[in-house]
Amino acid sequence: MARRETGLPFYPHFVIEDVIVILVYLILFLGIIFFFPFLFFPPEAFERADPFVTPAHIKPEWYFLASYQLLKVVPGKVLGVSLQILVVAFLFFLPLIDRSPERHPLKRPLFTILAILGLLSFVGLSVWGHYS
């Protein structure tokens, strides 16, 4: 003897409810975007772009600020790019350079000092790049 299940079927009750919620959301979203675009975007975002003029206030994202500042500080573009390649190569080969079985930072003072200096230089160059 088959047992009859109680409750509402998924179709059409829940499907229609979901479709109504999605349509209301889309109407509100598109209404705000088309009729009130200045709510979420500054007025400068709607000016016509000139591909030959870069605005002065543009800065890279925070994770590129150290590289950006290093390129500004180092004389010569080739030297600046070479320094950045050397830093990335050092970080890439660091597991091969440090073959010590010891893992505690206090028992590896050279690499602990190098890590602290690397972090401080990254933060310092990033802050300097942000305010310059």
> Which CATH number does the domain housing residue 125 bear?
1.10.287.980
Q: Is residue 30 part of a domain?
A: yes
For the question of whether the overall pTM of this predicted structure is more than 0.75, the answer is no
Q: What is the DSSP string of 66-124?
A: HHHHHHHHSSSHHHHHHHHHHHHHHHHHHHHH---S---GGG-HHHHHHHHHHHHHHHH
Q: Is residue 79 part of a domain?
A: yes
**96/83: higher pLDDT:** 83
Please give the residue range of the domain that contains residue 127.
62-131
Q: Is residue 117 part of a domain?
A: yes
| 42 has a pLDDT exceeding 90 | no
Residue 68 confidence (pLDDT): 92
- pLDDT category at 16 given cuts 50, 70, 90 is very high
Cα–Cα separations (whole angstroms), residue 132 to 47, 77, 83, 118: 26, 19, 21, 21
| 23 has a pLDDT exceeding 80 | yes
Query: Residue 69 has which token pair?
Result: 């500042």
